[in-house]
Amino acid sequence: MPTKNISAFRSGEGFLRNLGGQERLLYLYSKHHPRHFCIVAEMRVDRSATAFIDAFRKVQARHTILNVCIEDSAEFGPGFFRTDRIIAVKFEELGEPSDWARVVEAELATPFPTDIGPLIRARILGKAKRWAVVFTVHHAIADALSAVTIIEDLMRALCGRDLPPPSVSLPLETLASRARADHNGSFGFDTRPGSSHQELRAVAAEPLWRPFEGDAPRAFTMHFEPVTTTAILEQCRRHKTTLHGALCAALIMTAAVDPARQNFTITSPVNLRSMIGLDTRATGLLVGTGTVKFPISATLEFWSLARMAVAGLASARNKTGAFRALDMLQIAVPVDAEPELAVGLIGAMRYDAIISNLGRLGAATEMSDLRLDAVWGPFVQGRFRNECVIGAASLGGILRVAQTSPFHMPSCLEALRTSLLVACDLQLDFPNKSA
């Protein structure tokens, strides 16, 4: 395979920059297995459709990543190019509060072409001044925390407030290189071999994935009232672990009821913003990943599993491990890679579930006459045959948990809730709700 000349000057009207390694991975993967996600914001505000559209235009003008499409070049590889198209915003009357879940399912099942742009779309469901805004974002341009920042900016624009200065989009690898320089180059390029390209192509050919056409993802939700959320967090601290670890443990205990299962593998996104010197509100694809394989046995103990989850992600959460992973990604999926390498790399993880915990969101819940009631997600249509994706976010003291899974898989949220409450010595009728 010829090497593309990424160091040469790249011409072309509207060219912004080449995709970084993480962006390239998800772009190439999405060519065979669409990879976009949804975030839902529930808010109360009295605004017209025109006001929403104007607000979206202001938000779009601020963020470089909301004004791009992706074009692939035989010489240079995939690159971001500017698009003048405005974000597609659709309005529908919302019947019942849970109706937006059906919209999320439809959005995840709808392809997301990358050569048109912008790589975000929105559906606004409203009735009687109550709105649910469903953001659908292609994963090649942003992570779920970026979508939360976009929600905050939309709130500001709806309230007539000034937005922060325009954001600059840089590849994660460029930002990581700067962080390395700040540490006297102590984290050098890792040239140790991982899986060969031949091995990755072989994985890509395995029957691991569901066909996208005609697939029907399901979305489920559950939330814990503030008193329950506080009690769970207190138990996590008492047992020297984190909420993320507890969510992992609860999901494993749920899966362990299958007597044939010998292990359970969870992949988790890891926020790298602070590690590379960025503000928490920075937008882009700014996460790494960590994968932990848990043994299933008759002696499973909840809090031991929770601590195991935290320990297993330790490497992905420190500079040495995170930067090494970025180096290996550049080797595994170089700029001249075909989609099969990206598919093989993700396939080689062979995870059973993704848990994406956005943590405690710092978004303001009230702004002028606007109230942000909830943020849900991320919802992701996992492409493995039996993949379960759990998204969690805490806002206003309420922990909200979402599940996305293929149509043939039932919700595991009630079982997850029971496992979590029992481990925390809480009664099963302790204040909480699910849908």
> For 219-270, what is each residue's pLDDT tens digit?
999 999 999 999 999 999 999 999 999 999 999 999 888 888 899 999 999 9
- The pLDDT value given to residue 52: 96
SS3 425: coil
SS3 37: strand
Which stretches of the chain score pLDDT less than 50? 1-3, 5-9, 184-192, 435
- H/E stretch holding 138: strand 130-138
Provide the CATH number for the domain formed by 15-158 in this structure.
3.30.559.10
- Amino acid at residue number 311: A
CB 302 within 8 A of CB 390: no
- Taking phi over 0 as left and psi of -120 to 50 as alpha, with beta for the rest, 284 belongs to left
- The pLDDT value given to residue 38: 98
C-alpha torsion sign, points 136, 142, 145, 146: negative
CB 331 within 8 A of CB 191: yes
Q: How far apart are CA 365 and CA 378, in angstroms?
A: 19
According to DSSP, the β-strands at 77-82 and 68-73 are antiparallel
What's the DSSP call for residue 217? E
Structure tokens at 361: 């969101």
CB 420 within 8 A of CB 243: no
- H/E stretch holding 42: strand 36-44
Is the peptide bond preceding residue 118 cis, with omega within 30 degrees of 0? yes
| Residue reference for tokens 């698009």 | 83
Structure tokens at 427: 């009664």
- The pLDDT value given to residue 74: 80
Q: Where are the domains of the chain?
A: 15-158, 183-434
CB 144 within 8 A of CB 377: yes
What's the DSSP call for residue 326? H
Nearest to 40 by CA among 279, 372, 284, 364: 372
CB 332 within 8 A of CB 6: no
| Complete DSSP assignment for 348-403 | HH--SEEEEEEEE----SEETTEEEEEEEEEEE---BTT-EEEEEEEETTEEEEEE
Buried b / exposed e along 193-219 (16+ C-beta atoms within 10 A): eebebeebeebbeeebbbeeeeeebbb
- The pLDDT value given to residue 362: 87
Q: How far apart are CA 157 and CA 90, in angstroms?
A: 18
- The pLDDT value given to residue 126: 87
- H/E stretch holding 174: helix 172-182
Buried b / exposed e along 275-299 (16+ C-beta atoms within 10 A): bbebeebbbbbbbbbbbbebebeee
HSE, CB side, 13 Å, CA atoms: give it for residue 377: 30
> For 27-76, what is each residue's pLDDT tens digit?
999 999 999 999 999 999 999 999 999 999 999 999 999 999 999 988 88
- The pLDDT value given to residue 194: 63
- Give the bridge partners for 131, in sequence order: 43, 126
Answer whether 15-158 and 183-434 agree in fold: yes
- Amino acid at residue number 192: R
- The pLDDT value given to residue 300: 84
CA distances in angstroms from 282 to 164, 270, 285, listed in the order given: 11, 15, 9
Fold assignment, 183-434:
Chloramphenicol Acetyltransferase (3.30.559)
- The pLDDT value given to residue 7: 41
Q: What string of H, E and C letters represents the secondary structure of 256-324?
A: CCCCCCCEEEEEEEEECCCCCCCCCCCCCCCEEEEEEEEECCCCCCHHHHHHHHHHHCCHHHCHHHHHH
